[in-house]
Chains A and B, each alone.
Chain A
Amino acid sequence: MSELTLTVMRLGFLAVLWLFVIVAVQVIRSDLFGTRVTQRAGRRGPERPAAARPQQAAPQQQAASRGGGRGGRTKRGAPTKLVVSEGSLSGTTVALQGQTISLGRAHDSTIVLDDDYASSRHARIYPDRDGQWIVEDLGSTNGTYLDRTRLTTPTPIPPGAPIRIGKTVIELRK
């Protein structure tokens, strides 16, 4: 091999290696500048990124409905996951596997609510013997709302009904 070829290959390899690094940084850059930063609703102003969200979230919704078809192990039409759809935790999901889900500001809750209007042990969601999911208010200060009614007794959750705790909205989904 001639000296020249080897020199070209040596420098060429370094160039390719650095090109990879630069491309990787470009990917990170698009990740950084492709985001919008908005103050969380309730602290500063009324704006919420919700307006922009449904569009992006459409594929996710499809994915969720597909997931439901496979996971229908327990009962047909039974919800398989709990979704936080509004509030600071929106996007969090918890799989429903027959366990009790506790909600509140306490750190050992299944869903730790970072919500000024939530009590430390606010509510719990659990399945009864027939596999029907029940929501129960645990004596919270500001109450738990199922649809429009404030809960006083443990109540079965109808499919698609929103549960409101302060600014957080929770739904059971298939």
Chain B
Amino acid sequence: MSFNLGNTTISSGGPPSRRNTELALLVFAVLVPVFAYANVGLAMDGTIPAGMLGYGLGLGLLAGVTHLVVRKFAPYADPLMLPIATLLNGLGLVLIWRLDQEPALKPYNAAPTQLMWSALGVALFVGVLVFLKDHRILQRYTYISMAVALVLLTLPVFFPPVNGARIWVTIPGVGSLQPGEFAKIVITVFFAGYLMVKRDALALASRRFMGLYLPRGRDLGPILAIWLLSLMILVVETDLGTSLLFFGMFVVMLYVATERTSWIIFGLLLSTAGAVFVASVNTHVGDRVNNWLNPLELQNGGVTETAQAMYSFGSGGLLGSGLGQGFSRLIGGIATKSDYILATVGEELGLAGLMAIILLYGLLVERGIRTALAARDPFGKLLAVGLSGAFAIQIFVVAGGVTGLIPLTGMTMPFLAQGGSSVIANWALVAILLRISDTARRPAPAPAHNPDVEMTQVVKP
């Protein structure tokens, strides 16, 4: 394994494939949720839950399938991403099942549905790894993916809003999907393909203005238009989280592609202006901001969900109340299993558990960025940074919203929270990252033995 960073070469001393490490971690990652499952059953009913064997086998089967597929189709891929994703998905299933035991919370029996969605996500993961032989193929579909992303983003406008946000597509008989989750991946492909071609123009052909580098309009035009359009769609759909995600990803990728700090400054200014504008115009977003600023204000004779989430974090304390022994049912409403699942983690596992979960997400993002560093081609680098950036921003937006750092925006915690689209899309995202990482970590082929080499005219200083 060898790859380039600037003008140094990094080559690994260890064995190139880490598949056995991955297998060991995967076994660990399946056992931890099974332990959690038993813990919930013992705490709530005093017995080991009846479905434990089936659940453990189901999760183990999913993990086994993913491992075998990675072993066959991406043998040099990163050994950490798959176990972390499996652990988070498994813990999410346990937490949802635990909340299913509270009769007050809707939707009932969300855990079996979530297990089915996870299986579908794993199927898509397998599909991506089997059929996407080389991530550079995606580069050919730069502009097609732009069109697909726009269609995915506009689709929910034609469907009725759910809980004030038009982010759902309802297919009768099948269920509802959030196309925004898939648009996240598709638009990253577009940004990566476009910025790879245009990054020199964006970085070098610029005018200096007040210490900032401003690019020429014609270089920036198309991408700014896409951004404005997607932002407009999202304002119409009143989904602040997704709009924040897309804009953040756009700024991250521009910064990585051009190495110009001015993009960060622009991005922060624009997003602040945008957020203030949307909050003042749109009542749905305005309510969210109000709940964030005054969480303890009584509304309709009750306490806001934000305040309940804060109480649950407080009640959890440092080490938590123990799985199955918290009171997160008091958050009520429909969002306990999806948006507010971190509040349950915070109460039942305490600060220690919450930090472990956030660290796991951090490690997943770190592996993504490490993949970007190791990738040899600029498209792969940008794609890996974009995907892991999107993942990181989504976690920040959700965790920040639940803990009261920023207004809650209605996104799902990847893998952990209930939500079919989110689980499926994030498994696909991990699959693409693994594909890039497999290409990047693949050892360099040996130069062919050629006795005439010294006679060839070689330019070597």
Chain A residues near B (Cβ < 8 Å): 1, 5-7, 9-14, 16-18, 20-21, 23-25, 27-28, 30-31, 34-43, 49-50, 52-54, 56-61, 64, 83, 85-86, 88-93, 95, 107-108, 112, 117, 142, 145, 147-148, 150, 160, 162, 164, 166-167, 169, 171, 173
Contacts and interface: CB of A to CB of B under 8 A. Distances in A.
A24 B363 contact: yes
B29 A13 contact: no
Contacts of B7: 39-40, 43
A10 B348 CA distance: 9
A43 to B, nearest CB: 5
Contact of B352 (A14, A28, A36, A95): A14
A117 B444 CA distance: 22
Contacts of B212: none
Contacts of B39: 9-10, 13
Nearest to B75: A63
Given A40-B7, A53-B2, A91-B444, 8 more contacts: A1-B42, A6-B322, A14-B349, A20-B87, A28-B367, A60-B442, A148-B452, A173-B445
Contact of A16 (B32, B42, B200): B32
Chain B interface residue number, banded: 35 or more
Contact of A18 (B87, B197, B356, B377): B356
A35 B12 contact: yes
B457 interface: yes
Nearest to B324: A6
Interface in B170-184: none
Given A1-B43, A18-B352, A7 B322 contact: yes
B450 interface: yes
Contacts of A53: 2, 11, 443-444, 446
Interface in B412-461: 442-448, 450, 452-453, 455-461
Interface of B: 1-4, 7-14, 16-18, 21, 25, 28-29, 32, 35-36, 39, 42-43, 46, 79-80, 83-84, 87, 133-134, 196-197, 200, 319-323, 325, 349-350, 352-353, 356-357, 359-360, 363, 366-367, 370, 376-378, 442-448, 450, 452-453, 455-461
Given A5-B42, A107-B200, A61 B322 contact: no
B25 A142 contact: no
B152 to A, nearest CB: 28
Contact of B447 (A23, A85, A166): A85
B363 A108 contact: no
B21 A145 contact: no
A108 B197 contact: yes
Given A17-B356, A24-B83, A56 B25 contact: no
Contacts of B25: 20, 23-24, 27
A107 B202 CA distance: 14
Report, nearest first, the 7 A-B pairs whose CB atoms are least far apart.
A91-B444, A10-B322, A34-B14, A57-B446, A85-B447, A17-B356, A54-B446
B9 A167 contact: no
A58 B11 contact: no
Given A11-B319, A28-B80, A117-B459, A91 B2 contact: yes
A48 to B, nearest CB: 8
A77 to B, nearest CB: 16
Contact of A10 (B320, B448, B455): B320
B442 A91 contact: yes
B446 A91 contact: no
Contact of A14 (B84, B356, B458, B460): B356
Contacts of A169: 447
Contact of A27 (B2, B21, B87, B452): B21
Contact of B46 (A1, A9, A160): A1
A23 B360 CA distance: 11
A107 B14 CA distance: 34
A90 B14 CA distance: 19
A49 B2 contact: yes
A25 B363 contact: yes
B442 A85 contact: no
Contacts of A10: 39, 319-323
A6 B319 CA distance: 13
A6 B445 contact: no
B205 to A, nearest CB: 13
